């Protein structure tokens, strides 16, 4: 049972990490200019905490 919970947590984390770069990119593209720089700063701060997330985000921007 504990194994199943861990497996579900891992799957959820992978799914979340695949979705976040796309959402962040859309949010930045659609943000008003006055909020865009702060939003970019916040997104990058979160992405820099996780090197794998940084690589995914880079790939999404290409």
Do 22 and 60 contact (CB within 8 A), yes or no? Answer: yes
Do 53 and 17 contact (CB within 8 A), yes or no? Answer: yes
pLDDT level of residue 2 (50, 70, 90 thresholds): low
Alpha carbons 46 and 25: distance in angstroms, whole number: 13
Positive or negative: CA dihedral 61, 53, 55, 16 = negative
For residue 49, give the DSSP letter: T
For the cut 70, the answer to whether the pLDDT of residue 54 exceeds it is yes
For the cut 70, the answer to whether the pLDDT of residue 55 exceeds it is yes
* pLDDT (average), residues 46-55: 78
Question: The whole model's pTM is what?
Answer: 0.44
* 15-34 pLDDT per residue, tens: 666 666 777 777 778 888 88
Alpha carbons 8 and 3: distance in angstroms, whole number: 9
């Amino acid at each position: 049972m504990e194994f199943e919970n861990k497996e579900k947590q891992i799957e959820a984390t992978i799914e979340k990490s695949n979705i976040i770069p796309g959402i962040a990119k859309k949010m930045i593209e659609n943000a008003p200019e006055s909020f865009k720089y702060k939003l970019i700063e916040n997104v990058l701060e979160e992405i820099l905490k996780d090197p794998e997330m940084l690589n995914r985000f880079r790939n999404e921007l290409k």
